[in-house]
Amino acid sequence: MATPETRIIRSVDDSAWSPPLPEAPGFDHLVVETPGLRTHVATVGEGEPVVLLHGFPQHWWQWRAVAPVIAARGYRVICPDLRGAGWTVADDPRIERETRLQDLLALFDALDIERAHLVSHDMGAITAMQLTYEHPERVRTAVELSVPPGFFTFSPKLAPGFRHLPRFIWHRPGASLRGIFSEAYVAQPMSEATIEAHLAPMGRPDIDGAVRPLTRGMILPEAMRMSRGVYRRRRLTVPTLFVFGRRDRPWTEDLMGRVCRDPKRYADRVEFAYVDNAAHFITDDAPTTVATLTTTWFEQAA
């Protein structure tokens, strides 16, 4: 576990953050300092730890309607802003394939988390997948939202699912990312206030500047490993639930059945769930359903 020299944990009042934190009653806010990184962490509840890893271009606030429901069922829910997102500050702008994984391990140690349930969405699921394969002893159960398993087989029919990547690879400083919240990715239209809350940290030059490093340093190398079948040659031992919105194209139940054929060959326990009236941004479209599926999985699979 971490030593006092490698961690400083401070509680910070909501009004002290810049830009201001979006409103979300019931959360406590901490800064966890580990070497080279000051991680903003929002927490709610008491009990067995559950760590929620946000997607892109989002941050802890993605879980505002999910985390309190999980907490009410007897869990301590921990929502960090990962490197390059939210209100977390990094000394070094470089991001490599496992940089966020090492950050997460340091955070676990700093918060004295030996094992946790792990819930992730979108880009956060890359780090979650790495943790489940490289350090399965740290994860009780996992739920991954809107992403396929690492052992999926690529099909040309999946290409539209990656149509957003070029704008991230070639992101220009100051370019708006509002389009990612368009009707192509949501089933329930987001209000202007919600979109602004998700994108608020992008006004910070370091967060805006992290878009390219995250895409080029982490997403593309990990995507190449998946396409080469790296995870089809390994075994997933953590019980994992993969959840998709039925309106999240092209990740349909039919196509997922084709590209994830015979999951028992690659994993000890994997299940799939599909949520009506939800698309890619499933935690905004159907937060209560996500929370219910998640806690049910914890209880059944742990």
Q: Please say if the pLDDT value at position 4 is more than 50.
A: no
User: pLDDT tens digits for 173-202?
Assistant: 999 999 999 999 999 999 999 999 999 999
Q: How far apart are CA 60 and CA 45, in angstroms?
A: 15
- CB atoms closer than 10 angstroms to residue 196: 12
pLDDT of residue 216: 97
Q: Please say if the pLDDT value at position 1 is more than 70.
A: no
Q: What is the mean pLDDT of residues 63-83?
A: 98
pTM of this structure: 0.96
Q: How far apart are CA 209 and CA 80, in angstroms?
A: 19
User: pLDDT tens digits for 113-134?
Assistant: 999 999 999 999 999 999 999 9
Question: What percentage of the chain exceeds 70 in pLDDT?
Answer: 98
User: pLDDT tens digits for 279-288?
Assistant: 999 999 999 9
Q: How confident is the model at residue 12 (pLDDT cuts 50, 70, 90)?
A: confident
Token digits of residue 137:
């002893």
Q: Please say if the pLDDT value at position 15 is more than 70.
A: yes
Q: How far apart are CA 2 and CA 105, in angstroms?
A: 10
CB 187, CB 278: distance < 8 Å: yes
Residue 98 DSSP SS3? coil
pLDDT of residue 6: 58
pLDDT of residue 14: 76
User: pLDDT tens digits for 217-245?
Assistant: 999 999 999 999 999 999 999 999 999 99
Q: How far apart are CA 211 and CA 141, in angstroms?
A: 29
CB 32, CB 107: distance < 8 Å: yes
Token digits of residue 200:
């608020």
Among 239, 237, 249, CA closest to 278 = 249
DSSP-derived secondary structure for 153-179: PP-GGGGGGGTTHHHHHTPPTT---GG
Opening angle at CA 138, ends 226 and 131, nearest 5: 20
